[in-house]
Structure 1
């Protein structure tokens, strides 16, 4: 029996990935594979795969030959860009790990060999997902430009600039973890903040008074 990982991601903290998990658990039963791990992320799709603990754990399990299959709902769960998705697909393929994408019913390996149709579809789907994000970003920027033309204030209100002391007080737990020697990534995970926020705190902490 093949060992498999269920991999799910949502991009907002208020979103729930329970439906994805339930769907993929049912899929695992139908394919008679043994689920040895469930990896779930609540992280923005704009984060690189290097910043995603879930993707890194998936790659670790694949490299140690602990799994032979990955189950995902959509190809966009595997990366923010076409290049990142294809990098994951290529590495897992080289390691003999097949990826099954539920919403299209496609799999990267057939009897241990590359499925060229899946490779082609992965490229297309990843590119469509990237274009969709770019379109959304352009719409947001266009809306901000229109608001400025109408004289509306964009960003932090005047007079509310956050000083260094107030910022460090706000993220006191981040400061403690950094001073204790924890890495930026570990601190971000423990304190449930973005890596960029931790980096900004770290810059302030390293600055001499």
Structure 2
């Protein structure tokens, strides 16, 4: 069986979004394709961040290289970068290290059965990443336009009064996570044990100096 790694990412650093659906769908694909999932990397970070500022993605790519992983599984190409240049750089890293890439949304594999990029792979990757970049810019434009109109009509931005959690409130809400962190359990494992996002656990660890 080929060794596979899953990389899943959502943009929201809050608990409103999670990577569960991506992981479940990719796990099903791996089982169907008879791939052995060696590790799962989950990240909550904005899609606008540069790849060098994505610690989990960096860890994932290095893990694939160091452990001779056969294929990296992602739900869609935009998970791998904020723009076409960064995506292509990541793809080059994978090709240089003979690591295949499977994109579930398009059901696309980077390498053929001989471990070589297909003739259409570079065009396909460039097209998909450019389309994803354009879509992000369109979303950003619509959000900014809506915000400006809201302010123009008298709306106010920011949290409502009383909506900010106090330290005691957080201590009660995240008491299980705090207890696990105090025992020296890693952020990723605490996130899995408590059902919270890794970004949330990282924030709690920092706020409580754990």
| TM-score normalised by L of structure 1 | 0.71
SS at match of 1:44: coil
Larger radius of gyration: 1
Once the two structures are superposed, residues 58-98 of structure 1 have per-residue CA deviations (whole angstroms, 9 ceiling, x without a partner) of 22113314311101111111111111111111111111000
Unaligned stretches of 5+ residues in structure 1: 158-187, 199-209
SS at match of 2:29: helix
Residue matched to 2:7 = 7
Decide which of 72, 95, 99 is 2:101's aligned counterpart: 99
Residue matched to 1:50 = 52
Maintained 8 Å contact 2:44/2:199: no
1:17 aligns with 2:14: no
Residue matched to 2:126 = 123
Shift of 1:4: 0.9
Unaligned stretches of 5+ residues in structure 2: 161-197
CA RMSD of aligned residues (A): 3.1
SS at match of 2:120: helix
SS at match of 2:122: helix
Residue matched to 1:112 = 115
Shift of 1:145: 2.6
Alignment CA distance shift 1:124-1:61 (3 Å): same
Shift of 1:30: 1.6
Structure with the bigger RCO (C-alpha within 8 Å, sep 6+) is 2
- Structure 1 Cα separation of the partners of residues 78 and 43 of structure 2: 13
Aligned length: 175
Residue matched to 2:177 = none
Alignment CA distance shift 1:154-1:25 (3 Å): closer
Residue matched to 1:142 = 145
